[in-house]
Amino acid sequence: MTLEVRKLTAGYRNKIVITDVSFELAPGSIMAFFGHNGAGKSTTLKTILGALSPVEGEVWLDGERIDRLPIPERIARGIRYLPDSRGVFPDLTVEENLDVVARMNAADSGARIAVADVLSMLPLLEARRGSYAGTMSGGQQQMLAFGLALLGSPRCILLEEPSVGLQPDLVEMLFGEIRRICAKHAISAILVEHKIASAMAISDHVLIMNNGAVVFDGPPAKARESNFWEFF
Ligand X SMILES: Nc1ncnc2c1ncn2[C@@H]1O[C@H](COP(=O)(O)OP(=O)(O)OP(=O)(O)O)[C@@H](O)[C@H]1O
CB of 196 to Mg ion, least distance (A): 15
Which one, 42 or 153, has the nearer CB to ligand X?
42
The stretch among 36-44, 62-70, 104-112, 124-132 that binds ligand X (CB under 6 A) is 36-44
Total residues binding ligand X (CB under 6 A): 11
- Write each residue from 11 to 30 as x if it is in contact with ligand X (CB under 6 A), else as -, in one continuous string: -x--x-x-------------
Residue 12 contact, options Mg ion, ligand X, none, Cβ 5-8 Å cut-off depending on partner type = ligand X
Residue 35 contact, options ligand X, Mg ion, none, Cβ 5-8 Å cut-off depending on partner type = ligand X
The torsion of the CA quartet 121, 116, 72, 65, rounded to 10 degrees, works out to 50
* CA dihedral over 191, 51, 22, 113, signed as positive or negative: positive
Q: Which helix (H) or strand (E) holds 225?
A: helix 220-225
Does residue 42 touch ligand X according to CB under 6 A? yes
Helices (H), 17-151: 41-49, 71-76, 94-104, 115-121, 123-127, 138-150
Angle at 63 between CA 175 and CA 4, to 5 degrees: 50
The stretch among 39-47, 135-143, 144-152, 170-178 that binds ligand X (CB under 6 A) is 39-47
Length of the chain: 232
Which one, 17 or 166, has the nearer CB to ligand X?
17
Distances (CA, A) of 65 to 6, 56, 69, 136, 202: 11, 13, 8, 39, 28
Does residue 2 touch ligand X according to CB under 6 A? no
Which residue has the closest beta carbon to Mg ion? 42
CB of 48 to ligand X, least distance (A): 12
Strands of the 205-210 sheet, one edge to the other: 79-82, 156-160, 188-192, 30-35, 205-210, 213-218
Distances (CA, A) of 143 to 51, 65, 87, 147: 24, 30, 11, 6
Work out which of 23, 25, 30, 40 binds ligand X, going by CB under 6 A: 40
Residue 53 contact, options Mg ion, ligand X, none, Cβ 5-8 Å cut-off depending on partner type = none
Does residue 39 touch ligand X according to CB under 6 A? yes
CB of 110 to Mg ion, least distance (A): 30
Question: Which residues contribute to the site for ligand X (CB under 6 A)?
Answer: 12, 15, 17, 35, 37-43
